[in-house]
Structure 1
Amino acid sequence: MLKRLTRGLWNYRSITLIALTPLLLLPLPLVIRTKQAECAFVLLLMATFWVTEVIPLSMTAMIPAIFLPMFGIMKSSDVAKEYFKDFHFLLVGVTCLATSIEKWGLHRRIALRLVSMVGVNPAWLMLGFMSGCAFLSMWVQNTSAVTMVMPIVEAVLQQILKAKEGECAGKDNLTLELDETDSRVEKLKDVMSDQRHPDVPVETFTCVQIQTASKPAAAQVVVCEPAASSKSHRDLMICKAMCIGIAYSSNIGGISTLPGTSPNLIFSEYLTQVYPNCNCINFGNWLLLCLPISVIMLLLTWIWLYWLFIGSDFKFLWRCKEEPCESEKAARQVIEDEYRSLGPMSSREIFTGVVFLLMVLLWLTRSPGFMPGWASLFPQ
């Protein structure tokens, strides 16, 4: 009986949590009867709903708008003001711009152009993608920048791996001759299936025929050995370095500008509240302070990821005129094909780019600090 009841509660756990959580927390406002206890009730209720996600997060965020005026902690007008801060509207505008950039493919054009400029060597390729993601993250949210760049990274990496597989498959071994007798190969596979490792399939064994001058053709020796893995350890390390580099570069680029990430805007709003007469935080001086730090951090992260995942040979920094290998040629080809497939810039891309540049220009000239900006024309 108890087991059946437990199973029924688990099946309806969302409804159970929604109903029981306020009931279990009711002693706080009913027994203690202080504003602190009532505020703790709202805080614990929100924390429980946020952690369990029994209702959508956006609905949980609206709980203070209902309970704080109900308990008399704050007025409805004061609560509503907190939901419509300046940086909230700024985030909405940046999100709209990011949506337009992603919809019309402007992010692909920017990222592919930056990658083609730095080169297709794995190290330079990683720097190109990290730079492109960091640049996009300066103007849009970090998560949006990663989702924009990762599909391009995945396409290029897949092309590199395919090129390397073809390159390895096309190499000739001068000391070994392949046995073209299908029946003998099938027999050898049957024999090797009893002796192979249980985790290695038969198809991973390569059957080769060794013929020497000292033995007649009838005495040819056929050897079966494991084939090379389609993905080498170095290839996997390059993929890991690329993916982690994209994640890191989005955070690094986000610190460069005020709208690059939400904590920057929250810090600016908090500083304005604490020091209302101090107009020291604006887009221009934030960019002037944080952009050099971001560039240094990006270069150091790139070098560290290369050393950690790919190798400690940094000769590629001054060996720029070497003949590229097949995988690098394939990577350059897929980047050029991807950029070519975009075609000429459409009117929507041009309009989105103009809005983007206009927004950046307005941010820079709003209150530059060394001269009155256009914000001084609209006194508050």
Structure 2
Amino acid sequence: MREILHRIWNLRRHLILVLAPLLFLPVVFIMPLQEGKCLYVILIMATFWCTEALPLSVTALLPICLFPLLGVLPSSKTCPMYFLDTNVLFFAGLIMAVAVEDCKVHRRLALRILMCLGVNPCMLILGMMLSTAFLSMWLSNTATTAMMMPIATAVLKNLNDDMGIMQRNATLVNADEPQENESAAEESNANPEAVEERKDEVSRLEIDGPQQPNVADDEQKQKMATGKGILISIPYAATIGGVTTLTGTAPNLILDGQLKSNFPQSDEVNFGSWFLFAFPFTMLFLITGWLWLSFMYGGLNLRLWKRKKNKETEVRAKAVIKAEYTQLGPITFAESAVATFFSLFVLLLFTRDPKFVMGWSKAFKPKYVTDAVVAMTIVIIMFIFPSQKPSFKWKIDPNEPFTPNPPLLTWKKVQDNVAWNVILLLGGGFVIAKGCEVSGLSRWIGSHLHPLEHVSPSVAALLSCLVIAAFTEFASNTATSIIFLPILAELAIRAKVNPLYLMIPGVVSCSFAFMLPVATPPNAIAFTSGQLKVKDMMKTGILMNILGIIFANLALNTWGSLIFKLSTFPNWAEISINQTRAATSTSVQFLNISD
């Protein structure tokens, strides 16, 4: 029996690939035809995404085959969805990240932050979290975690070396104890009064309190806890930091893409407005998360009292970080150039259309210049700009050799380091959203959510956060956002609520995967260090999930409502409803004529 189960387990992916399309086939016949065919494709893709029966990016390509064959969307409308304006923005952000990683600007910044904050356990965890969160705003969460782990490993190696020294010292102390016991025995034999005196001392100690614990064991436990805190803080901070910017994580971009696809008149969400909403949320979440991790692993208790510091350990850890920084050498021309272009990149994105003041994009035709235009312009310039300071000595001295100066970016670097699979995933999400809209599936789902239409919008937002946060622990955040965002949008329209009121907390909750190692790639990277256990992530992550849900709803109902004007039902949603109804009636008339 065990052998049979083992073979079935080995063939599980093949069985899912064959059985899933067969099991979901009745959906096509039970539901209305167009909606059923669209849901059939979505259920197959959701199953493949959750089980990884196919690679995630390959599953994202299925609509190119299935939508035209089943008559959901023509190929001419399906294929362009894989490279929308949002995909171009994300693609440019990935290329910018390649330039930053190539010249090691991110590593220099992270080490500088750690040197400034200090290396006692609480401040070391804070330094790791701040560095990781800032980098993950601009780089992918996985790349940021992979970059920070070697720094953490070097610090932990120093802590482990100190633990070995303390254990050896404790062994030497214990080896001396028998001699002390022997001398005490001789004293008791020689002087019976000494025995009575010792008994009195023991009774007084039992009344006054227990003896002091072994200092070496206490320090060892604290260092092991600090090591866990440092390791677990990196993926958590990467996840939190990724929420801050529109390009920081895939669900944010899926929100942007689905708004542009389903609500073309909407312009509330852009790089600047999202940052204004997400940055206070990120800082609040990050600081609270740091206090929680410091309480769990950094020796911080409810009275904010820290355990006794080990000065020698702190000096050694600081020396390790300083040595890592020294190995980088002086700042190079390429680092300065990339930092300048990166700063210009961020500045132009913020000031394009910040909403509270007039942006520079008002000088151009409306909706012509988007965030993607800004990002790709900066990236193209970096393919031209030299990576070394130009020298013109060859113009003066004919004997001076002329060597070509390589640019900051080359296509080979981009080709080797860009995460192309994520771009395909985004495209797959946009195709599904378009299919739900055109086929009428989103309206069909919304029509079956009547009970929720009468629920208070704030309660509906809270419930959506709870459901999505639980679901994303077992599925990728990209797949989770693709599945839930169209449903939340349709539910909001049915309830005459601003669609952003449900979509924003939903998309933020897609990143709340703190409890399981398999929930996100950053969690898996930290778990592979071998020092973390599943129970460590479970007991720490459950409160992180709760805090994230609380802060997301707090942000939504305070400053988020002001930034995105969530208290009113927007005109762009009403226009979209009318256009969709007109398109649906036209398609129905066409089908009747064909019949």
Alignment partners' CA distance in 2, 1:12 and 1:252: 37
State the SS of the aligned residue for 2:95.
helix
Alignment partners' CA distance in 2, 1:264 and 1:298: 18
- 2:293 matched residue in structure 1: 305
Alignment partners' CA distance in 1, 2:231 and 2:7: 43
Which letter maps to 1:287? F
Residue of 304, 307, 329 corresponding to 1:314: 304
Pairs within 5 Å for 1:185-200: none
> Is 1:80 aligned with 2:110?
no
- 2:62 matched residue in structure 1: 63
Q: What does the per-residue CA deviation read over 1:153-191, in whole Å, with 9 as the maximum and x for residues that have no partner?
A: 121122123124325545797x8775xxxxxxxxxxxxx
- 1:329 matched residue in structure 2: 315
Distance 1:308 1:33, change over 3 A: closer
- Displacement of 1:374 in angstroms is 3.8
Alignment partners' CA distance in 1, 2:162 and 2:6: 53
Which letter maps to 2:247? P
Alignment partners' CA distance in 2, 1:33 and 1:280: 34
Alignment partners' CA distance in 1, 2:271 and 2:41: 36
Residue of 251, 269, 279 corresponding to 1:263: 251
Q: What does the per-residue CA deviation read over 1:206-254, in whole Å, with 9 as the maximum and x for residues that have no partner?
A: x8544538849xxxxxxxxx99669822122212222232222223222
- 1:283 matched residue in structure 2: 271
Q: What does the per-residue CA deviation read over 1:328-362, in whole Å, with 9 as the maximum and x for residues that have no partner?
A: 00110101111111112344433432332232122
Distance 1:375 1:100, change over 3 A: farther
11-20 or 297-306: bigger deviation: 11-20
> Is 1:338 aligned with 2:313?
no
Residue of 342, 348, 355 corresponding to 1:356: 342
- 1:154 matched residue in structure 2: 153
Aligned residues, how many?
337
- 2:359 matched residue in structure 1: 372
Alignment partners' CA distance in 2, 1:32 and 1:41: 10
> Is 1:48 aligned with 2:47?
yes
Q: What does the per-residue CA deviation read over 1:245-287, in whole Å, with 9 as the maximum and x for residues that have no partner?
A: 2222223222322212222223334444565444333322332
TM-score using structure 2 length: 0.50
Pairs within 5 Å for 1:102-141: 102-141=101-140
Alignment partners' CA distance in 1, 2:336 and 2:158: 30
Counterpart contact for 1:164–1:327, Cα < 8 Å:
no
236-245 or 5-14: bigger deviation: 5-14
Distance 1:87 1:235, change over 3 A: same
Distance 1:72 1:229, change over 3 A: same
- Displacement of 1:64 in angstroms is 0.7
- 1:91 matched residue in structure 2: 90
Which letter maps to 1:353? A
63-72 or 146-155: bigger deviation: 146-155
Any gaps of 5 or more consecutive residues in structure 1? 179-206, 217-225
Which letter maps to 1:359? F
TM-score using structure 1 length: 0.75
Alignment partners' CA distance in 1, 2:26 and 2:279: 51
Distance 1:176 1:368, change over 3 A: closer
Alignment partners' CA distance in 1, 2:5 and 2:229: 46
State the SS of the aligned residue for 1:258.
coil
Which letter maps to 1:311? L
Counterpart contact for 2:300–2:306, Cα < 8 Å:
no
276-285 or 364-373: bigger deviation: 276-285
Alignment partners' CA distance in 1, 2:3 and 2:304: 65
Counterpart contact for 1:161–1:231, Cα < 8 Å:
no
Alignment partners' CA distance in 1, 2:174 and 2:15: 70
Counterpart contact for 1:101–1:107, Cα < 8 Å:
yes
State the SS of the aligned residue for 1:232.
helix
Alignment partners' CA distance in 2, 1:85 and 1:16: 34
Counterpart contact for 2:170–2:216, Cα < 8 Å:
no
- 2:372 matched residue in structure 1: none
Which letter maps to 2:346? V
- 1:144 matched residue in structure 2: 143
> Is 1:240 aligned with 2:219?
no
- 1:212 matched residue in structure 2: 183
Counterpart contact for 1:161–1:327, Cα < 8 Å:
no
> Is 1:250 aligned with 2:238?
yes
Alignment partners' CA distance in 2, 1:38 and 1:263: 25
Distance 1:326 1:171, change over 3 A: farther
- 2:99 matched residue in structure 1: 100
Distance 1:79 1:103, change over 3 A: same
- Displacement of 1:75 in angstroms is 1.3
Alignment partners' CA distance in 1, 2:75 and 2:252: 27
Which letter maps to 2:348? L
- 1:203 matched residue in structure 2: none
Which letter maps to 2:318? R
Which letter maps to 2:304? F
Q: What does the per-residue CA deviation read over 1:16-56, in whole Å, with 9 as the maximum and x for residues that have no partner?
A: 54345445555555797822232233223223333333332
- Displacement of 1:134 in angstroms is 0.9
Any gaps of 5 or more consecutive residues in structure 2? 188-213, 369-595
Alignment partners' CA distance in 1, 2:30 and 2:244: 49
301-310 or 127-136: bigger deviation: 301-310
Alignment partners' CA distance in 2, 1:344 and 1:115: 18
Alignment partners' CA distance in 1, 2:23 and 2:277: 49
Alignment partners' CA distance in 1, 2:14 and 2:29: 23
